Amino acid sequence: MLFLFALKIVDISVPRIAAWNSDELPIYEPGLDKVVKACRGKNLFFSTEVDQGIRDADIIFVAVNTPTKKVGMGAGRAADLTYWELAARRIASVAETPKVVVEKSTVPIKTAEAISAVLHGAGKTRFDVLSNPEFLAEGTAMTDLDNPDRVLIGGNMNESGKAAVARLADVYAHWVPRERILTTNVWSSELSKLVANSFLAQRVSSINAVSAICEASGADVDEVARAVGMDSRIGSKFLKASVGFGGSCFQKDILNLVYLCQSMGLADVAEYFHSVVTMNDRQKERFVSRIIHGLFNTVTGKRIALLGFAFKKDTGDTRESASIEICRRLIEERASVCIYDPKVEADQIWMDLTAATKLDKTEVQKYVTLCDSAYEAALGAHALAIATEWDEFKTLDYDKIQEDMVKPSFVFDGRNVLDHGALRELGYIVYAIGKPLDPKLNTSINC
Ligand code: UDX
């Protein structure tokens, strides 16, 4: 077989590369395992030989972490570009022949310009820096990659920039129709990523805001979403009310955009986008309030089965997951929380909860137990709280589960994935986001 490209993935982390070269890949993503195993050692290589990787490459994709800054100027909003700068300095010091350097990480606008200055300041050769934002979503990454809505490539408008853009476009053109490959100036490309994520998150916050109106008015958020989404100008996607969005991108990118607006003196625009995050925080708090008020205004000492810890189904990723905040609040209320998630590693949960609560692990373990199944988590529980929409939660034997729960048994469906009518027939008291409230649910305080 003739391979058109060889992809060498280099990382300074020895254990991470070892995991990529093993049978147990370091991340769970449907379909990834199959592709890696079919191509590894043929035209896909994982290595810690970073310098050799740089020397050999024609095109270098930089996909390092760009978390929100924790300290210093812009802390809590601006992106931390430390890893990006380190990668650029390494490329500059090693590269001997011209390279196309591609920004894959989500970065603030004008990063390409700054990186280009670092590369040319320290380097011995020519570099063309392109912006090529990643739009794939976790859980569907492989299909998104195969069949993207669009591929966006931003570059400099000079001759060498245009040639670099064309070169990268040719790579994608092997499987993406040309009309879906957009080329723009580098700033439009960088900004588009932040705006796309902000718009998506904005839709989720909009429908979550509507869910609160639905609960107060007796409307049904799914019916409203359907009616609204059938307007082709609005569209039906990203209108699923939830316990709040999570993931590594939405909050980070909005805060990044907010910071950008503030630094440009656009205070009102910054405030507008920031409200998307505020609404999301509010939605998580609303869910916790429903649990507390539902359980007769206290959860202290009560056992709550938290089903799902990942920020969405089909991933083991917990970054910014709503479950973390829900759990933190329940710990604050001195509840006993039993967590079950089909994919998230135990260590990850302890790490997230110790960071969120600022307690040490033994202290967190006084309130939190990790379970191997939803059934185990529900043993002796007063309530089930669904925080991630895993398919397996839809088909649990809720009759059997209720036998082992304290009565009255409650279900708080933070994803609207269960059959609420059937659960009520079984005797559960059910709360679901944005749905007409169960007459048996304590609603003495408005949430
Ligand atoms: C997102 C963007 O979709 C993707 O284009 C970008 O490259 C990275 O960020 P991802 O974070 O993987 O992808 O997940 P996404 O499917 O967008 O979901 C984000 C969060 O919103 C999840 O917590 C999800 O459960 C929530 N969500 C999504 C809702 O609550 N309701 C919806 O209707 C859609």
Q: What digits encode the pLDDT tens for the residues 229-257? A: 999 999 999 999 999 999 999 999 999 99
Q: Which residues contact 101 (CB under 8 A, 6 or more apart)?
A: 60, 62, 88, 91, 115, 119, 127, 128, 129, 130
Structure-token pair, residue 97 = 């022949």
- Cβ of 136 below 6 Å from ligand 1: yes
Angle at 287 between CA 231 and CA 378, to 5 degrees: 115
Q: Check whether 78 has a pLDDT greater than 90.
A: no
Residue 3 has what pLDDT?
64
The rounded Å distance from CA 406 to ligand 1 centre is: 35
Average pLDDT of span 191-220:
97
Judge whether 313 and 390 are in contact, CB under 8 Å.
yes
384 forms beta bridges with 305, 411
Number of H helices, E strands in the chain: 17, 13
From start to end of 323-378, where are the E strands? Answer: 336-340, 368-370
- Cβ of 414 below 6 Å from ligand 1: no
Judge whether 383 and 306 are in contact, CB under 8 Å.
no
Q: Check whether 7 has a pLDDT greater than 70.
A: yes
- Cβ of 197 below 6 Å from ligand 1: yes
Q: Check whether 89 has a pLDDT greater than 90.
A: yes
Tens digit of each residue's pLDDT (9 = 90 or more) over 387-440:
999 999 999 999 999 999 999 999 999 999 999 999 999 999 999 999 999 999
The rounded Å distance from CA 247 to ligand 1 centre is: 7
Judge whether 33 and 25 are in contact, CB under 8 Å.
yes
Q: Check whether 197 has a pLDDT greater than 80.
A: yes
Tens digit of each residue's pLDDT (9 = 90 or more) over 344-400:
999 999 999 999 999 999 999 999 999 999 999 999 999 999 999 999 999 999 999
Residue 108 has what pLDDT?
80
**Under DSSP, is residue 12 helix (H, G, I), strand (E, B) or coil?**
coil
> Which residue puts its alpha carbon closest to atom 28 of ligand 1?
238
Burial class (CB in 10 A: 0-12, 13-18, 19+), 289: middle
Judge whether 152 and 192 are in contact, CB under 8 Å.
yes
> pLDDT grade, residue 51 (50/70/90)?
very high
